[in-house]
Amino acid sequence: MSTSSGGSLRGLREANRARVLQILQSGPRPQVQIAAEAGVSPATVTSLVRELVDSGQVVVAPGTSSGRRATIVSLATQPPGSFVGVSLRRDGVDVAVWGRDGARFETATWVGLPEPDQPIRERIARFVARLLPEQAIGATVAVPAAVPLARRETIVLPPDYPLAEWLDDDAMVPLEQVLGTAVTEKNDANLAALAELRLGAAQGLSHALYLELSDGVGGAFILNNEIFEGDGGMAGELGHLQGSEHGPRCWCGNRGCLELLVGADALLPGLRALHPGEQITLRTLADDVAAGRDLARRIAVEAGRDAGYGVAPLVQALNLSTVIVGGQLAACGDPLLSSFTETLSHFSTLVGPRVETRLASLGAPAVALGAVVDAAARTGLYSFSELKLG
C-alpha cells in the first residue's frame, strides 16, 4: 500500500524485491547475474539485497563468478509460517490463512459479534489461532471503518456504531499475543479491492474505481496497479459523497449522502411489503430480484441509478474507464448493474462512449482474502499466482 507521493516508486521497489526473491527460488547466484536476470541496475540489486539481508530473507557469501570475486546471494532457510487475514464484520468474523508452503484458504464466521469484553476478544484470538497450522509471519485485520494512516488520530464513526469499542487501542492485543506478530488494521473496502486487483475482477487493470455496496457504502481507488490511500489513508470513503442535495440529513453533517440513498437502511424498508413480519437483509433483496419480483427489481434499478450518479464525478475527474462493483448488493446482478452503468455513462461523458462496469468476482471472502494478500505483500514473500482459492 502506498502514500500519495512516491506510491508508484515504492510499488516498483516492492515489485523488484519480489522479482529478486523469485529469481533466487531457482538457486543461489552472483549479484551481477541477478541484476541481469531482473533487468535492473547492479546498484539497485545491491540495495535490494541489503534490505533482504536485513529482513532475514536472503544470505550472502563471498564466491567467484567467471573467475572473478563475486557476492553470491541465496534464499535464507525460512521457518514455515502462515499469513493471516481477519475480517471484522458487523455481524461476525472471517479468517483467512495462507500457508507459505502452499495454498490454503479458510474462512469461518462468528455470527453476532457480542460486546467486546476481554474474554470475547481472547476467544476470537483463540478462534484465529486454531486455524493456524504454524507460526504467523504477517497479519492484517480488516475493519468496516475508515482507518487513518496515523492510527486512530482522526477516526470518525457514526453514532451507535456497533464496532466502536473494537477500534480502541487495546482491541488487537490478544490477537497479537496469540499470533506472535504485529497486526496491521486497514479499511475493509480497500482490502476487498486489493483482493480483486491481485486475484479477481480487477486483475491486469492499471486504474479502476472499486465500489462496495453493502449495508453501508465504501470503495477504493486502484491507481497505477496499487490501492491509493490518500495522504491520510482515508481515500475511497465513498459513502458520504453527495448523491442528492435534497436527500435526508446524515450524521456526518451533510445531506443526501450516498449511503443514505443506497445503504441497507434506505433500501430494505421498501421491501417490507413483500415480507411482512420477516427479518430481511440485502440477501433477501437479491433473492427477490432473482425470483423476478417487480418491487425488488425496481429497488435495485433505483439503487444502481443513485450509485451511478454519486460516483460519476469521480470517474470523470480521474478519467477512469472501469468500475468494479462489489458488496452484498452486487448480488442483485443485472438490474442494478445496467442502471448503474447507464447513469454513470450519462454523467461522465468525457471518459468515453461508455464506462465499463464489472461485478466483483471474489464474493464475500474478498475482504479476508485481501487482508491475507496485504499481510503477505508487506513481507515480500509471496507470489499471488501460487494462491489458490477453495
Q: What is the dihedral of CA 153, 182, 76, 386, to 10 degrees?
A: -90
Encoded amino acid at 268, one letter = L
As measured in angstroms, the least distance from the Cβ of 155 to Zn ion is 15
Q: Shortest Cβ distance from residue 61 to Zn ion (Å)?
A: 59
| Residue closer to Zn ion (CB basis): 54 or 245 | 245
**Which window, 232-240, 266-274, 281-289, 295-303, contacts Zn ion (CB under 5 A)?**
232-240
CA 245/CA 243 separation, integer angstroms: 7
CA distance 175 to 172: 5
Question: Whose CA is closest to 116, among 166, 161, 183?
Answer: 166
CB atoms within 10 A of CB 278: 9
Cβ atoms 175, 141 nearer than 8 A: yes
160, 215, 235, 290, 364 from 267: Cα distances, Å: 20, 9, 25, 16, 20
Q: What DSSP state is assigned to residue 257?
A: B
CB of 329 to Zn ion, least distance (A): 18
Neighbours of 298 (CB within 10 A): 14
Output 71 or 254, the one with its CB closest to Zn ion.
Answer: 254
CB-nearer residue toward Zn ion: 113 or 252: 252
Which one-letter amino acid corresponds to residue 1?
Answer: M
The burial class, CB within 10 Å (0-12 / 13-18 / 19+), for 317 is exposed
Q: Which helix (H) or strand (E) holds 94?
A: strand 92-99
Of 197 and 257, nearer to Zn ion (C-beta) is 257
Task: Give the shortest CB-282-to-Zn ion separation in angstroms.
Answer: 20
What pairs with residue 249 in β-bridges? Answer: 255
Cβ proximity to Zn ion: between 244 and 254 the closer is 254
- Count of positions on this chain that bind Zn ion (CB under 5 A): 5
Distance of closest approach, residue 243 Cβ to Zn ion, in angstroms: 10
Distance between CA 271 and CA 195 in Å, rounded? 32
Give the nearest distance from C-beta 236 to Zn ion in angstroms.
15
Phi and psi for 325 in degrees, rounded to 5?
-110, 120
Q: How far is the CB of 257 from Zn ion (least distance, A)?
A: 3
- Using CB under 5 A as the binding rule, whether residue 213 contacts Zn ion is answered as no
| CB nearer to Zn ion: pick between 35 and 257 | 257
Q: Within positions 238 to 257, which residues make up the interface with Zn ion, using CB under 5 A?
A: 240, 250, 252, 254, 257
Closest separation in Å from C-beta 261 to Zn ion: 10
Grid coordinates of 127:
478462534
* CB closer to Zn ion, 263 vs 326: 263
Interaction residues for Zn ion, span 254-283 (CB under 5 A): 254, 257
- Of residues 89 and 240, the one with the C-beta less far from Zn ion: 240
96 within 8 A of 368, measured Cβ to Cβ? yes
Question: What are the residues binding Zn ion (CB under 5 A)?
Answer: 240, 250, 252, 254, 257
